[in-house]
Amino acid sequence: MITVTPFEALAEGIRLRGAQYLPAGPGPFPTAVLFHGFGASHVEFSSVFVALARRLAEAGFAAVAYDRAGHGESDGEFYDTSVSRDVRHAHQVLAAIADLDTVDAHDLHLVGMSLGAVIASVVAAETDLALRSLTLWSTAAVFADEIRGGTLQGRSLDTLDTEGYFDFLGMRLGPAMRDDALTFDVYGRASGYAGPARLLHGTDDFVPVGYAERYLDVYGERADLIVVDGADHGWAQVPQRDILLSRTTEFIRDHSRRTETE
């Protein structure tokens, strides 16, 4: 039995909203914090984060997922999005989650999808909290190289100068994303994380697997990379998604403080 309750936190005066997924039984619970992809929401594409939360609940873990500023039900404007702003907000959200009575602040795990994986990797490196594990799905570390080359997901960013915005799936994206990416050091900012990491990437992902492989150079033997044949960026096939969910749940369980004491 899983209980779903609303979650809210303030970050730089912006109210961010999401959900907390709780398993049956008394808390506090080891908890996974889920970071969604660019332009998505806290349930993620075809509700894959909800599916993960249910898998985790069956194993006795809680999960918290939230909409970043300008996404989903959170306040703020998508126009103002930048990765650095999202990282700053994530630190404040993570601190709020650690303070919840239902959360074991000594048994926290981060899971990121796409651009959320980049954000999670930087937060893991920079937080003062003792994280137990980091899992990165379809990491979109390509974003900085793309933007420096004048494109985003294969489309020219010229309209930022001619129209004042970039049309991303019907949402106006402003220049902050581009300006921030020009100097954003994806792997350098992730390098301070000292715990275990798992990356999952599909052979049919539009992000080349080499961007996931470069994290192995950063993390060394503390990380593994699972390349799933036929999986696309959103894990939109049942067999591949089942692998994603099972290998993520397994990794979190194996590195939980609760598992060590059993």
DSSP result, 88-142 = HHHHHHHHHHHTSTTEEEEEEEEEEETHHHHHHHHHHHH-SS-EEEEEEES--TH
Residues 191-228 have pLDDT tens digits of 999 999 999 999 999 999 999 999 999 999 999 999 99
In the three-class reduction of DSSP (H, G, I as helix; E, B as strand; rest coil), residue 30 is classed as: strand
Percent of the chain at pLDDT above 90? 96
pLDDT in tens, 126-177: 999 989 999 999 999 999 999 999 999 999 999 999 999 999 999 999 999 9
Q: Which domains does the chain have, with CATH numbers?
A: 3-141+190-261 (3.40.50.1820)
The residue that leads in pLDDT, 1 or 20, is: 20
**pTM of the entire structure?**
0.97
What's the Cα-to-Cα distance from 206 to each of 61, 135, 153, rounded to whole Å? 31, 19, 9
* Encoded tokens for 92: 């404040």
Rounded to 10 degrees, the C-alpha dihedral 109/177/75/57 comes to: -20
Q: Please, what's the b/e burial string for 27-42 (b: 16 or more CB within 10 A of its CB; e: otherwise)? A: eebbbbbbbbbbbbbb
Residue 262 has pLDDT above 70, yes or no: no
Amino acid identity, position 183: T
Q: Is residue 72 within 8 Å of residue 41, measured between CB atoms? A: yes
Nearest to 15 by CA among 27, 5, 7, 3: 7
**DSSP helix/strand/coil, 249:** helix
